Structure formats: structure tokens, C-alpha cells
A = this chain, B = another copy of it.
């Protein structure tokens, strides 16, 4: 049986391509549409408004509307929210509302309540008069979960279409290595300074190539200058950074030769063993074992880091969360106050961070591999930018912009 729902959206529907994506999604779900009303924004500053009747098979319609909310589309009739208790730990009701990472409101007792900590692919948990996102692994039997799309509104992120030459310029254009890179670096430096000036934190997510490309000194300078407030990474970045600090001087060859292969040497497993003996990275800094590198700088600066393990880890370091769900929990706990996120040279941890970030936090993903950048930029958030470039030179150049007296050793 085919059912219909009338939905609406307001915004820069044409020049952003939003309307195209909406119509695409409707067809993807086997649905159909009639555009009932379309008030076009006459000039490029004006918003457009569309009212669309969406038709789909009974059991798909609610899911399709749920999906469309990811583009900022909402039902014309807000309806009444439906809340049902879940009947088992770690399981949502079948028709749970699946969240986007956008600003979301739930109609409770005639009022629109703002959802706390927006995160995609979660459920909505209602406790008293408050609503927050909850991952499926955290839900307990009896938790009151929003079901269906009735009584839920999503506020579209409206990227300000400013073509006058500022930071927006490269946001919406396609990811490519053929870009004026020096300009992009400068724009990111500007944005970082702005975020810091406004009291926001800068979150870094990094892979081991930060060390392999010789960018650790640049990264240390950024930590010392206060541009790294939180660091998310895996066992590899920390291990290779510590390995370089512990063995780099005596051997002096690894980094000048640039051999960043995971199993090139036994250094990494000995480095891990030494830190395990110390008990933690901080303890190794304290007892004088670890005297340089990015992790040392983070400890010295008193800045938090969250290292989450993966199945390919050796060791791991004692600071690494070996349970990934606990790791995600620890990452979420550090998001408060973050005003900008930059992800360099790691697919795994970048996607992981993207998963839990609200769409309101601007993020940049930098990698030499176009596929990584595309995957991240395609997360469906208007705020993601991708830069295809060399991590070593990128960090070098960014540090030159932010820490004027920095010189590569």
C-alpha cells in the first residue's frame, strides 16, 4: 500500500544542489513525488521554498522521511512524537528514529525540545523533559526512545554562500589534488586562529604518517603554541612517535631514510614494552624515559588524548582503549567545547570521529589519498572539507603560518 506525506524545506535549494539530492533519495527508496509548491529564491541571496508530496510503500515511507530529514526536510504537519520503551538492553524498537548529525528538535508536551549532543545513526532518548542521542550499544531495557518521524524537526545547516573569496570558496568544490594548496593552508590557519580567539577547542585526529612524513617537529610546535587541544589517534601514531623519540637518536636512520613500514623493525614492539613497563605515557614522561615527540608534548602541555585500539595493533600501549565501544565513549567525552576538527592521514579514526561529531563543528580532512578524503567529505555534512595533499609539507606549511618562528630542525 502506498502512503503519502507532505514535506517542506527552505534554504539555498538550487545552488547547493540540495533539491537534487532530495529527489534522488526519494527515487532510491522506491518512492515518488509531486512538487506541490516551489517558491524560487529570485537572486542568489534569497532562499527558496519547496513543498513536496512524497509517496512510498507503507513500511518505507517513515524511513524515507527519516532519511530526508538529513537534508533538512521536515513534514509540514509536525504531528505528535511517539515514545516507546525499548524491551531489551542494546536494542532499539524496530521503528526507532535514526538520528542525523544536525540540530534536531522533538515536540514534547506541545513544546519543541532541543536534542542534546547531536550524533548520527543514534536513537533519541527521552528522560523527563530532556532529549539526547544514545548509541544502540548504550541503550537499556525500559529506556524511552522516539519512534517514527512524527514530532521531530531537523534544522538544516545553511552554509552561507559567500563567494567574495573567503573560507567558503573551497568547501563545496570537488576534492582534488589540483588545488591552490598554499591558499588552502592559509585559510585553515586563519580559521584555527579564529576558533581559538573565540574560545573554541581544536580537535586533531591523526595517523602514523604524521611521524613517517617527518612532521612530528611541526606538530610539536603546534601543540606548544596551543593549537592542539585534544588528540584522537590509534596505537600506531603514538607508538611510532615514541619509537622515534626512544630510538631515533641512537640509530638516526629510520626517519632520515623515511622507512615508515609497520614491521620494518623491532623498534616499535620494544618501545611499546618500555611504556608498558612505565605504566602509561604520562608516567614515562614523568620518570624521564620519554623526552620528545608529539605525545611528550601533549603530556607536557596537559592536553588530553584518546587512543583507541584496532585489531592490527601490536602491544598495545597501556593508554590504548582495547574495547572500541569504551573508546568511542571516551572520545565523546572530549567533544565538549570543540570548535574545529582537523583530521590528518587516517581513514579509520577520521571516520570514527566524523561519526560522533555534530554537523555544527567545521571539519577538515587532509590526506594524500583522494579516496580517503572523498569518503570523509561525502559524510553528508555540509561542514566537511577535503584536501588532497602531502601531510608532511602540509603540516610544515601550516606551522609556518601559525608559529612564525618555527623552523624545521
- Give A contacts to B, CB under 8 Å: 14-17, 19-20, 23-24, 27-30, 32-36, 38, 40-44, 57, 59-60, 63, 66-67, 88, 90-92, 94, 96, 98, 120-121, 135-137, 163, 165, 169-170, 173, 176-186, 209, 212-215, 218, 234, 250-266, 268-270, 272-274, 276-277, 308-316, 318, 322-328, 331, 348-349, 351-352, 355, 368-371, 375, 378-380, 388-394, 396-397, 408
Query: Which B residues are CB-close (under 8 A) to A67?
Result: 265-266
Q: How far is the CA of A27 from the CA of B257 in the complex (A)?
A: 11
Copy number in the complex reads 4
Given A269-B136, A393-B389, answer yes or no on A173-B258 (Cβ-Cβ < 8 Å).
yes
Residue ID in chain B nearest A165 by CB atoms: B256
Contact indicator B260/A178 (Cβ below 8 Å):
yes
17 pairs of residues in contact across A and B, judged by CB atoms under 8 Å: A28-B253, A30-B252, A33-B43, A67-B265, A136-B272, A136-B273, A137-B315, A137-B316, A163-B253, A177-B209, A177-B368, A181-B214, A183-B408, A308-B311, A309-B325, A322-B326, A369-B369
Query: Which B residues are CB-close (under 8 A) to A250?
Result: 30, 57, 59-60
A323 contacts which of B91, B92, B255, B322 (Cβ < 8 Å)?
A: B322
Contact indicator B368/A388 (Cβ below 8 Å):
yes
Contact indicator B40/A35 (Cβ below 8 Å):
yes
A60 contacts which of B32, B42, B251, B263 (Cβ < 8 Å)?
A: B251
Q: A323-B323, A368-B389, A368-B390 are in contact. List 5 more A-B contacts (CB 8 A).
A: A23-B44, A35-B42, A98-B270, A182-B215, A309-B311
Query: Which B residues are CB-close (under 8 A) to A324?
Result: 309-311, 313, 322-324
Contact indicator B32/A43 (Cβ below 8 Å):
yes
Contact indicator A63/B137 (Cβ below 8 Å):
no
Given A251-B28, A324-B324, answer yes or no on A91-B213 (Cβ-Cβ < 8 Å).
no
Given A263-B380, A265-B67, answer yes or no on A355-B312 (Cβ-Cβ < 8 Å).
yes
Contact indicator A179/B258 (Cβ below 8 Å):
yes
A216 to chain B, nearest CB (A): 9
A257 contacts which of B91, B173, B394 (Cβ < 8 Å)?
A: B173
Q: How far is the CA of A338 from the CA of B163 in the complex (A)?
A: 42
Residue ID in chain B nearest A30 by CB atoms: B251
